[in-house]
Chain A
């Protein structure tokens, strides 16, 4: 089932003042089997958009459609059968097992007492298995790590067997390996189940690597497309320029603007040269393509110290990259 928006405006109604519109006239489309990343600077309205898409907040104008039905007209239980949600903070209910937590995802399908049928149990087992969380079933949720609980929350959303899953910064509190794991998991789920997943995230790099499409949210609205197209046409860079982030289309990643921006020539394909260029980028220098005012290189044959730095014909030698960077900073200040 496809999630559409038709001329959707989202934001807040304010008493006695005009509405605060965060985005207007959106015509978006989230298709089955698609992993879409919602990217944009802080405070641009990603969460508000997700709440509107999930039916938790009425839109200022326009409609959100699931299949042919307006989501605002769906009864809560019907909506929950079609659409599931995962938010940033995984709750920590006490005296509840992982299995019971995932079982809550069956609520839209069970009777008034929440009794589980064999089909419900099968769905719960499948969901636990899909997030590789089988061993979490027996454990008390309150004693699990943030990452484990978030995996269970995703399993709970899967157990809902919805057509669409919305995730609002699900990895914000997790460490890097867990973020990589969860993004890969989401991608795999879209492939195996045909579920449509929309995930808002600040992990630009992971989104670029995993998402089928991106929705770039900025003051101008939302620009949708394949990550690669958005990188090539400059949209990615434009979206985050305001946040002090610079997108480097050649490297496919973002750097901060904080640095002096001096251009440094650091040639070579050796291991040392690659790590040297990483260090320069990290410190905020731009890499020059041709020899220029500043140059650093690694002298393999020379006597130690090996890192040779030349700034305006003034040469110095350093034992470590760290020392070379320090001198470079002093010289270019």
Chain B
């Protein structure tokens, strides 16, 4: 009798949640919590800064009104809003692309840059900053903001070019391991070229290059924001269409194929999505290495699931939260010191990921 009751309960549970999460120990309730946390962090990021602006004034500006002081309107719309939005978008992009890479390569160490995007971007930047010679250097220094734009374009071109190369290679190869190796070797190759440029460069140019590698969410203007948003959103949409193949890939490529997944098409779509997500972010914000490897682990730990129908929105929200946190900490209010973004993410994030890994990574292999 009690057995029958249990059975009835189980099937009711099922009807309530038709996607097959039952018995999985998953915690889908974490998603609304993460959403709320992201909302809170967005507000905090808009509210905190070197100038103290009352919260209701900020809300007024966001709703299209004018603040009591014209400078407040200016600060919110020209600085805080782009920076906040950039942090959230970059966090989403890196979190989701990290998830794609870790699932596709079935490797917990994979991250968005394994395919060589950041190497490509850094080569673009290095060519402009280090290799442009005296004329180019004067040009950069003289142009100021336009110089930043030039950097963005160079990084974007480098990133895009490297992703096109990887995509072409992916059409020819049979397995993910080959792709991983190609990406790594490409990274070494480009790294060597960058080192060569650094070796012959003037010290102040090297400083400019190093500044780019620190990463920053503050470099995106309100006018550039739609470009970043377009890349991120299209990458996220493409990723969303891949949840089923990604779930099948948890069993490896051979089983995924036997479950009716078109491996080649899926591989290309995953690389394309990663390219969309990562190249724009790297172009605008520099190589923010850490988020991509950390966020998927945090997200799996929080959601207790490997189902990408949960993980994908989860990685989006977790990524945005972590990036917003890092941006807040990097520019602690009441303090004029601004820490490099990559320093903050790694210093604070690495211990968290270690803890999560120790709790959840047991029994991977």
Contacts and interface: CB of A to CB of B under 8 A. Distances in A.
Nearest to B20: A103
B19 interface: yes
Contact of B252 (A91, A98, A106): A91
A99 to B, nearest CB: 5
Contacts of A115: 18-19
A137 B20 CA distance: 11
Give the interface centre of B25, B252, B304, B309 by most chain A CB atoms within 10 Å: B25
B139 to A, nearest CB: 49
B180 interface: no
A92 B244 contact: no
Contacts of A78: 260
B22 A99 contact: yes
Interface stretch (B54-62, B230-238, B357-365): B357-365
A: interface residue count bin = 35 or more
B258 A116 contact: no
Contacts of B304: 95
Given A76-B261, A91-B251, A113 B19 contact: yes
Contacts of A160: 259
A111 B11 CA distance: 21
Nearest to A103: B20
Contacts of A97: 22-25
Interface residues of B, number: 39
Nearest to B15: A118
A107 B248 contact: yes
B360 A56 contact: no
A104 B251 contact: yes
A81 interface: yes
Contacts of B363: 92, 94, 142-143
A80 B262 CA distance: 11
A98 B241 CA distance: 25
Interface centre among A54, A96, A108 (most CB of B within 10 A): A96
Contacts of A140: 25
A114 B19 contact: yes
B25 to A, nearest CB: 7
Nearest to A74: B260
A77 interface: yes
A104 B259 contact: yes
A124 B20 CA distance: 10
Contacts of B243: 112-114
Interface in B242-270: 243-244, 247-248, 250-252, 254-255, 257-262
Interface string A127-140: 00000000001101
Name which of A81, A97, A137 has the most chain B CB atoms within 10 A of its CB. A97
A104 B248 contact: yes
Contacts of A79: 260
Given A113-B19, A143-B363, A108 B259 contact: yes
A105 interface: yes
A87 B254 contact: yes
A199 interface: no
B258 A84 contact: yes
Contact of A105 (B18, B259, B365): B259
Contacts of B306: 93-96
Contacts of A121: 11, 14
Nearest to B308: A114
B307 A100 contact: yes
B252 A113 contact: no
Contact of B260 (A81, A87, A142): A81
Contacts of A110: 244
B257 A112 contact: no
A85 interface: yes
A91 B25 contact: no
Contacts of A94: 306, 360-361, 363-364
A76 B365 CA distance: 28
Contacts of A118: 15
Contacts of B254: 56, 85, 87
| Most chain B beta-carbon contacts within 10 A, residue among A104, A106, A140 | A104
Given A104-B248, A107-B248, A116 B261 contact: no
B305 interface: yes
A256 interface: no
A117 interface: yes
B258 A85 contact: yes
Contacts of B364: 92, 94, 142
A100 B24 contact: yes
B300 interface: yes
Q: With a 10 A CB-CB cut-off, give which of B241, B250, B259 has the most chain A CB atoms.
A: B259
Contact of B23 (A54, A83, A92, A98): A98
A146 B322 CA distance: 38
Contact of B244 (A83, A99, A114): A114
Contact of A85 (B23, B255, B361): B255
B356 to A, nearest CB: 12
B21 interface: yes
Contacts of A117: 18
B31 to A, nearest CB: 15
A86 to B, nearest CB: 9
A54 B258 contact: yes
B107 to A, nearest CB: 13
B20 A56 contact: no
Given A87-B254, A105-B259, A95 B20 contact: no
B254 to A, nearest CB: 6
B365 to A, nearest CB: 7
Interface of B: 11, 14-15, 18-26, 241, 243-244, 247-248, 250-252, 254-255, 257-262, 300, 304-307, 309, 360-361, 363-365
The 8 closest A-B pairs by CB, nearest first: A80-B260, A85-B258, A77-B260, A97-B24, A103-B20, A108-B260, A95-B306, A138-B23
Given A93-B251, A121-B14, 16 more contacts: A54-B258, A56-B258, A78-B260, A79-B260, A80-B258, A81-B260, A92-B365, A95-B300, A96-B306, A97-B24, A98-B23, A99-B22, A100-B21, A104-B250, A108-B260, A140-B25
16 contacts: A54-B258, A76-B261, A80-B258, A87-B255, A91-B255, A94-B361, A95-B360, A97-B25, A99-B20, A99-B23, A107-B244, A107-B247, A114-B244, A120-B20, A140-B25, A160-B259
